[in-house]
Amino acid sequence: MKRIAARSLHALKAAEMIEGLQAFFVRNLDDISETLGNRQKFQPVEWFRDEGSHGGGIRYIATDTTLFNRASVNYSQVHYDDDTMKKLSSATAVSTIIHPLNPLVPSMHMHISWTEMRDGKGYWRIMADLNPSNFDVSDKERFTKALREAAAEHYEQGSAEGDRYFFIPALGRHRGVSHFYLENYNSGDNDGDMKFARSFGEAVIRIYIDIIREAIASRSVISERDRQQQLEYHTLYLLQVLTLDRGTTSGLLIHNQNDIGILGSIPSHVDKELLQSWVGKLHTVQNHLLQSIIEVLPEGKAVLVDDTVKRALAKKVRDHYRSHPEALALQASSSHIPPTVNNHR
């Protein structure tokens, strides 16, 4: 099979830029592994949308289990060049989550995408957030400073929208400690906007690489409490991704050809008992989803979320929102809610 690229010149340029960000990040992560004396590089896994006729993507997944709990750097481009009835022409994205093994080294999520409609108009979605399981104020300050400098005049808006999007109402807290989310961005200058998206992504990658290099070198004394807090945080991360994250839900509802990649952000283990303790705190209809999630997890306390479990989780989420479409209104959002699922219809 072969992935067929979108025909639009701007989509092709966006793909080249976004694949460049993916390669830049993977290369830097591999360099960290090599510096530590490890040889296990990120490995590519390709997927195809409709056997490649509508695109697909490639994700790089971590194989260095001495450094990473879970890590995935995903590129995708889906298009409908042969179906003019679709509202969407193409969607091109890089989406990545890095969960280090060391509980004193923060996780990080970043998403940068170009969505192009049938009439040639489009917009950028630009997100980045730092997600520590054990809080370190210097990490937050450095990451936030990098976001502020990279986003420039867009920082205040993106920071406020990120804080709104990554808030978990049932638990009264945010997923991370520093958030940025710029939705539906189009200044009218196509080349300038793409340059901004690229420079923002590069800045986020550079500061995160610096943070994890220094943290790995200096934070080697790890307590059982540190590990327990990481497990608890990873459980919270799963809760947010599966019950609130609009991007994850949209991806699962649009098709079932990349469920493992879409759920690449889920950490390796979660606390099933902690998840159970949160039943009743969510909105009634979302409690049903949480209970369905708990049902497919293995027995025990610290349970493994492998690919088999991910496929089962993807089905539960998909079935839930198809049965309860009104529950989509309960998901996280900025002040602008993109019609992602409708665009693919």
Per-residue pLDDT of 262-301, as tens digits, reads 999 999 999 999 999 999 999 999 999 999 999 999 999 9
Does a structural domain hold residue 82?
yes
Does a structural domain hold residue 300?
no
Residue 121 burial by Cβ neighbours in a 10 Å radius (0-12, 13-18, 19+): exposed
Write down the mean pLDDT value for the chain: 96
Question: How far from 327 is each of 257, 313, 335, CA to CA, in Å?
Answer: 23, 17, 18
Helices (H) and strands (E) in the chain, counts: 11, 11
Does a structural domain hold residue 25?
yes
Q: Is the pLDDT of residue 39 over 90?
A: no
pLDDT of residue 263: 97
Residue 302 burial by Cβ neighbours in a 10 Å radius (0-12, 13-18, 19+): middle
Does a structural domain hold residue 256?
no
The average pLDDT across 188-206 equals: 97
Q: What is the dihedral of CA 104, 298, 237, 333, to 10 degrees?
A: 170
Q: Is the pLDDT of residue 5 over 90?
A: yes
Tens-place pLDDT, residues 105-152:
999 999 999 999 999 999 999 999 999 999 999 999 999 999 999 999
CA distance 150 to 204: 8
Does a structural domain hold residue 141?
yes
pLDDT of residue 319: 97
Q: Look at the block and give the residue holding tokens 């602008």.
A: 336
Q: What is the CATH number of the domain that holds 28?
A: 3.40.1500.10
Question: Which has more pLDDT, 273 or 338?
Answer: 273
pLDDT of residue 162: 97
Q: What percent of the chain has pLDDT over 70?
A: 100
Residue range of the domain that includes 59: 9-221
Does a structural domain hold residue 273?
no
The average pLDDT across 6-33 equals: 97
The average pLDDT across 9-14 equals: 97
Q: Is the pLDDT of residue 345 over 80?
A: no
The average pLDDT across 156-177 equals: 97
The average pLDDT across 255-265 equals: 96
Domain tally for the chain? 1
Q: Is the pLDDT of residue 176 over 80?
A: yes
CA distance 90 to 84: 11
Does a structural domain hold residue 334?
no
pLDDT of residue 334: 79
Cβ count within 10 A of residue 43: 11
The average pLDDT across 79-100 equals: 95
Does a structural domain hold residue 185?
yes
Q: Is the pLDDT of residue 2 over 90?
A: yes
pLDDT of residue 344: 76
Q: How confident is the model at residue 341 (pLDDT cuts 50, 70, 90)?
A: confident
